[in-house]
Structure 1
Amino acid sequence: MKISPQRIGALGPLSSQDDSRKGPATGASPRQDSAPRLSRELKMVQQARAQLDALPEVDMEKVAMLRQAIADNALPLDMDALSRAIVDLHGKS
């Protein structure tokens, strides 16, 4: 048995017949429709990222409050819940 290579032409854009498999045409191409939406969403994500970057990495005021609560023995600690969480964490690894 002899195997001969097949020549395949260059890939090009889909024809309108190929688009019929995707459903009825809506008049606007998906690329045109999604590009402005993506740009708006990307801009919102970039703004949120900039706001997050402006925040301090650690809320030192909250850390000080927790330290004081621990020192005053005012921080409630549920040993059963802590034990279950530790067992769950190590049991699922």
Structure 2
Amino acid sequence: MKIDKVAGSAITQTQFDHSSRRTSTTASSQPRPEPGVQVDTQRMANMQEQLKQLPSIDMDKVAAVKDALARGELELDIQALSGAIMQFHTGHE
């Protein structure tokens, strides 16, 4: 397939430098190194089982925070909370 005209292109066909094209024949002749990561599958399986047994939410802690908020012992900074939520979900504030 040949492209004769590219709309809005700043590079004309005469400006294109063909010398930057290189063929890589030496890279394919060398053997690839093996990855350096070794995984202990038994240990990983044990850790995953332990994680499954943990509760995902500490309901006692949630109840304590709710009570502290209701009593006015804990201030809620709405600006900081909304900024943290935006940072978590979008990567920026």
TM score, norm. by length of structure 2: 0.45
Q: Which has the higher helix share?
A: 1
